[in-house]
Each structure stands twice: as C-alpha cells, then as structure tokens.
Chains A and B, each alone.
Chain A
Amino acid sequence: MFTRTCQKAASRGLISRSRRGALSLVVLLSILCPAGLASGADLSQAVLRRKENVVTRAPNLSAQAQPIAQGAVIDDGSVVRTGTASKAELLFPDLTLARLGSNSNFSFDAKARAMNATQGAVLFGKPSNSGKIELKSGAISGAITGSTGFISTVPMAGIGKAGQTRSNGKGATTLLGMLEGKFQGGSRWTDAAGREHTTSFRLGPGEMIVARPDSPPRQFQFDIPRFLKTSPLVKGFAPLPNAEAIARAVAAYEADERAGFIDKSNVMVSTKPRVAWEGQFPPNTEPGVNNLPPNDPFPHPGPAGVIRAQLVWNTSADLDLYLTLPNGQVVSFANVSVTFNNGRAIARLDRDNTGEQSNFPPNIRVENIVVNGIPLSGLYTFIVNNFNSPSGSDAFTLRVFYNGQLQVLTGNLAGGQNSQPIVVQVPRP
C-alpha cells in the first residue's frame, strides 16, 4: 500500500519540466517513502510538484534567492518564496504537502520535524500515518498529526518610530484554520505591561484562530464547504491527501447546517485579489492629476529610479512604506537610505509622512522608495504598514514600477495592520 502510494506521488511529480528534477523526485520518494512512513514524519526534502509563475529558493532567509523549476528537490533548511500571482506545491517523502500562495516564505526543518511559514498563505495537508510534525507561523506554533488546514501570516517590519507608541504593537497577524483533523498549540503574545503569555488552544474541523503578538488569540468558526469551493489553493490542484476525512468534515458541517446548528454571519472575506491592475505601462487615469510628465506610471511626482514604489493615501493616518532588499536589509522611516550590492546600488525613502501634512492638494499623502544604481538580483518586497490610525481604517494605494511593469495594490488597513506585499524580481545579469 505504501509503495503504491509513493508511486502515485512520484508519478504526479513527473509533470516536471525538469528531467533532472523528476529523476530526483523518483529517487527521493522511492528511497524515503517507506522509511518516512514507517518511522514518522519525514521533512528532510521536498519536491516542487507544481509551480505557477515565480518560485524561488534560498539557502536561508538572508541569502540570495534563485528561481527553481517544477520538479526541483528542495533541501531541509531552504527558504521557498513565491512571487506575486504565484503558487507552489511542495510534496514531502511522507506525502505531507504544502501549497504556497502569492508572496509566501516557507521553510522546513527535518531534525525538528517542523514547517515554518514566515509569510503569506499556506495550505497544508498531512497523512495521519506518518507521525507528528510541528507547524510554526507568526505567533502560533503547534503540532499536527493527520490534518488539513491553512495558515497565513502577514509580518511587519517591526520598527517603532521615535517618540511614538504603537497602539497595537508590532509583529504579525496569523490566521490558522482547520479543514479536518486537529491542531494543538499555543499563541505567544505580550500584554500592554510587557508581560509575555502563551495561550494554549486546540482546533478541530471548521475552527480557526486569529493571533497577534499584542493580544490574546481569538477563535472563530468558518464555513468549510465555501472555503473549499473558493480557495485558490484547492481549486485546480490535485486532491488533498486526506480527501476522505475532508469529505467527512464537509458532510458533518452540512448536516449541522440542515439541523440548524449553524448560524451564518455577515462577515465574509473575499478572494478577489487586491492587486487591481498588473501589466504593461498603463495610461494614467487617476482624476485630479494634470501636471505629470507624459507616460509616468505614478499619479504624483517622485524621484526617478530603476525600481520605484509610491504609496498614496488621503487621511491623517500615519502609513509607512517598507522595502525589504534581497540581502534582508529594510528601507523605511527608521532606515531611510541603504547602500548595497557592494556600493553599486542605493535604496532611499524620500520622506516620512506621519499623516499630519498633505503633499499634494487637497489631502494627498505620498511616500516614495526608489532603488538606483545596479540592483542586486533577487526579490524586492514592498509592504505598507498603518502605524497609527485616528479613524480606525484607511484606504491606500501602492504602486511599484520596474522594468516596464507596474503593479498596483489597493486596500484598507487598520491601525497596526500590514498590507499584502508587492514583490519584484531582479534577474541575474
């Protein structure tokens, strides 16, 4: 039975466009499957079973990432990243899988039997016959045996402004939900007095938790069938490993719904992407802009650069623009200028607008980050953080322009909240 399952997994991996990767997968699974299933979870290596658009691998978090092909084997300790509008599916020898959404960072540790999702959305599935593994993301850590669920973390850069106090702390918001099976773990958080706490929790099918490092976790219940029908990490992929258990969880949910045990709320999260437009250089259609240079992709004047990012909002909130460079350095109000690539490139923030003044009439606030010189190859990640919001929630638009491509992200951020990232990749020369 194990052999058949392994063969099935291996044959799926043969979709690979990389012959070398496919061979590696077959060898890997044929060697490791029996051992992995017999002795427990095996996270020693994974194969990139499926990829969409940009997927990279780095030896560690601070190292330079390299694009990888479908079928590639990923070693323990490596960091897998996905770009904008990208997806990846990783398959481990014990048939545990992890599907990564856009702009995700994911790593795994064979010795600790741990998977670590430091950023972005991950759907995980683990057969029940291969032991326990640890799952870590943001403030949450815990164990799964045979389970299917999702986890998402949006990190902050975590640098406070001098003379100001964050209303709700720094860190990340982590969302963890279970489709079937159980998750038992804890959430670490720090109260206003600086005392550290760990709140234990246990999740079953249809239960989810939202954890922040500055407040106790909150537990919710969600609509399992709707999630399965709409999730980009479920649709278009092969069936999940524990399909029968998921079917049972759905059946139980639907039976509870018919018997009246479920009251639906009006709270819904849409899958519609917040990237409003992506493509070639667009016409400038924003109203109220009439003095821009022709063909400038940004609505408001800003410094020139090889890579350009412009954050625009129109409230008195203090929004901040962050750039994480391929070498891990962060450009923001706390570090407005960074020279990198052996002095051949510089990234700079033009201003720190704390929301108290408008840069363009009537009430437009703008921050720009530009990269000039010869940029290091790798991923450049831009995010927006709402440092302080008098109004509770603030709309913003983030534009990033590189190599003739414009990416636009629009949305609303509450105080302390981070946006989804926009990632651009600079190829190797």
Chain B
Amino acid sequence: MSFTLKRTQCVLPVFFLVLAGISPALAQDVRVETQQQARVRAEITQEEETTEEPTDPELGDINLVSRAPRPKMFTFSTLQTLNYSSNAFLTRDNTLDDFFWNGGVGASFVPYATRNFTPRLSLGQSWFRYEDFPELDFDSQTLALDLKYDLDRNDTWSVIGSYAVARLYSPDDATGEFYRYGFLNASISRFSQIGSAPFYLNVTGGAYWRHGDPSASDRVSGYFNVAAIYNICEKVQLWGFTRPEVQHYTHDLSGSSRDDFNVTVGASLIWNPQDYLSVGTTVSYVGNFSTVGVRRYDLVTPTVFIGAQWAF
C-alpha cells in the first residue's frame, strides 16, 4: 500500500465534509490523517502478530525494522463533486433546494518532517456553481499551515495546531471579494482499532477561533469529531461520522449574544480503484440550533465525488 494512496484517502474526507456544509474548522480538524493512521496501524498489527523470522545466511544480515511512511514533500490534488442541497440558503423557513458543483485543486508542501512532527503548508482553490441560484456562486482561496505532532510512536495520540487565511469572492466582477477571514485551530485526537477487525475509531476534541471581515461570522467554538472507519476490503471503506459543535458568535448581526449548537451526522462510501484515484459518495445531515431563532436550519446534502492526487 503506497503512501500516495494513504494521502489520497486522508484528503478526501476533508473535501466531503466541507461539502456537507460544515465550517472550515472541521476541514482543518480532519487533517489528522485518519485514514493514513488506519493503514499504518494495519501494517503494524500485521508485524506484531508475526512469529516468522525470514532467514537465509547466504544472503546477508537481514535486520527487520519498522519503517513509518515519510510524508511526501509535494502533493497535488483535485476533487470534483456534484451535490444536492436541501437548503441552499440555510434558512429556517421557506427552504429552497438546488444542485451545485464544487471543484477544487490544491497543493501542499512539507519542508521537513520527523517521525513525530509534520508541518504542512497548503494552498487551495475552490469553485462553487449553483444550478438555479447563480447569485450563490463563489470561489475561494485558502492558505493554511498545519503543525501535527504525534504524542506516541504507535500513532494513537496526536495534536494539531493550524492557522489558515482565506478569501471568498464572487465570479461576478461587480461583487468581487466579499469575505476574508483567519482561522486558528487546536485539537487533540485519539486513533484506535476496535477489536481485531479492520474497524477504526478516531475521536477528536478541539477548539477554534474564526475572525473575519466582515465580522458577522466571527466565532469561537468547541467541538468533538467522531469518525468510524471500516475497511470493507483493501480498496473500499465505509465511513460514519458525527460532529457536535458549540459556537459562540462574537459579532452577530442581531446585535445580541448568539450561541449555536451545530451537529453533523453522515456516512460515506469510498472506493480507491488506483493509488491516485478515489471515487465515492456521501450523505450528511446538518442541524443548526441557535439562540437566534432565524439562524436555525436543517440541511441534507448527498454528494458524489471523484478525486485524484499525485504526491512525490
């Protein structure tokens, strides 16, 4: 199993969770490389179980080692998705549904890495195009720095600190850039295998602060993210995930204090026919419960996607 595949598989959840309508905070958080850990864990388990020692004195000294995959220095990726939104305007009442396309390309750079520490600089460009409501179309550019530190050598505990800046702008030149923000996130994750089956659980707890211009969406938040992964076979995985999140808005337009409880539940099926290619589908539900009644909404988003990645 090549590292390219591992990276491909770990990037995809980032995209489809974003597509599910979750805040960029989750996208940052999911960079815990859950799937990569799953793969590595499977290999480690295999080695621990073995009792066979390869031997042939005619060959030479064969010292067995455990060699963790080194992150690739350069990674280029793309993801194309087709989505349905049951609530394109995220309103409580009079919801309007729509189909939209989201395409994205990204590049990341790992200048240096050790077994425990991986810094990653990422640059991404995304496009959102709606079928019936072109006024919702927008593009985004994101630059992010992630610092990941593994707390142990068996890939169980890790912490991530990240900071990202992003700008959102309309394809309509008259509108131009309409939002820019900075995003500071910190989280701790525990990854573990459940039993002896290829079933893995990743639990993350974290907090983030988003500050932007305009500031109406500025907030601080605490969250949990729970993902269960089952490797149906070598190339097919089934994901289930949920994410409860408490959000405190610091500059809501209502002028009063606003606190939301946002919960996401979803499932994904991912097929990796090649190391560099992934195809999948996901369906998710987002419920937003707010102290400001008009901010409440429900959203269901089924998605199909195809992604490719090249790392070296």
A interface, CB within 8 angstroms of B: 101-104, 120-121, 123, 150, 152, 154, 175, 177, 202, 204, 206, 208, 210, 218-223, 226-234, 253, 256, 259-265, 267-274, 420
Contacts and interface: CB of A to CB of B under 8 A. Distances in A.
Contact of B61 (A152, A202, A271): A271
B64 A227 contact: no
A269 B57 contact: yes
A259 B114 contact: yes
A227 B61 contact: yes
B152 interface: no
A219 B62 contact: no
Interface stretch (B47-55, B181-189, B246-254): B47-55
A84 B257 CA distance: 86
A263 B60 contact: no
B54 A208 contact: yes
Contact of A227 (B47, B60, B153): B60
A267 B67 contact: no
B58 A232 contact: yes
Given A218-B52, A259-B115, A152 B60 contact: no
16 contacts: A101-B59, A121-B56, A121-B58, A152-B56, A175-B54, A206-B67, A219-B43, A221-B66, A222-B62, A223-B63, A232-B59, A256-B67, A256-B70, A263-B65, A265-B64, A269-B59
A262 B114 contact: no
Contacts, number: 133
A273 B57 contact: yes
The 4 closest A-B pairs by CB, nearest first: A231-B60, A101-B58, A260-B115, A121-B58
Given A222-B63, A256-B67, A264-B63, A269 B54 contact: yes
Contacts of B50: 218, 220
Contact of A274 (B46, B57, B69): B57
B291 to A, nearest CB: 48
Nearest to A201: B1
Interface in B12-59: 43, 46-47, 50, 52-59
A268 B115 contact: no
Most buried by B among A202, A261, A272: A261
A269 B62 contact: yes
Given A221-B66, A222-B65, A230-B60, 19 more contacts: A152-B56, A154-B56, A177-B62, A220-B54, A220-B64, A229-B60, A233-B59, A259-B115, A260-B114, A261-B70, A262-B66, A262-B68, A269-B54, A269-B55, A269-B56, A269-B57, A269-B63, A271-B59, A420-B57
B113 interface: yes
A101 B59 CA distance: 7
Contacts of B60: 150, 226-234, 271
Interface in B56-89: 56-70
B52 A210 contact: yes
Contact of A223 (B2, B65, B114): B65
A253 B68 CA distance: 11
A208 B70 CA distance: 18
Contacts of A202: 2
* Size category, B interface: 20 to 34
Interface of B: 2, 43, 46-47, 50, 52-70, 113-116, 153
Contacts of B46: 218-219
Nearest to A102: B58
Nearest to A152: B56
A227 B68 contact: no
Contacts of A220: 47, 50, 54, 64
Given A223-B65, A261-B67, A210 B54 contact: yes
Contacts of A256: 67, 70
A390 B50 CA distance: 19
A244 B55 CA distance: 27
Contacts of B153: 263
B8 to A, nearest CB: 16
A186 to B, nearest CB: 14
Given A219-B46, A220-B47, A259-B113, A230 B61 contact: yes
A268 B62 contact: yes
A295 B59 CA distance: 35
B65 A152 contact: no
A122 B52 CA distance: 21
A219 to B, nearest CB: 7
Nearest to B43: A219
B57 A221 contact: no
A175 B62 CA distance: 11
B66 A227 contact: no
A414 to B, nearest CB: 9
Contacts of B52: 210, 218
B67 A269 contact: no
A227 B64 CA distance: 10
Contacts of B115: 259-261
A354 B191 CA distance: 50
Contacts of B64: 220-223, 265, 267-268
A262 B116 CA distance: 12
A263 B47 CA distance: 12
A120 B62 contact: no
Contacts of A150: 59-60
B61 A268 contact: yes
A41 to B, nearest CB: 24
A120 B58 contact: yes
Given A101-B59, A263-B153, A269-B61, A221 B114 contact: no
Given A152-B56, A218-B46, A267-B53, A260 B116 contact: yes
Contact of A152 (B53, B58, B66, B114): B58
Nearest to A255: B70
A354 B77 CA distance: 62
Nearest to A176: B54
In this complex, the member of B50, B58, B114, B115 whose beta carbon has the largest number of chain A beta carbons within 10 angstroms is B58
Contacts of B66: 221, 262-263, 265
A175 B63 contact: no
A271 B63 contact: no
A220 B56 CA distance: 15
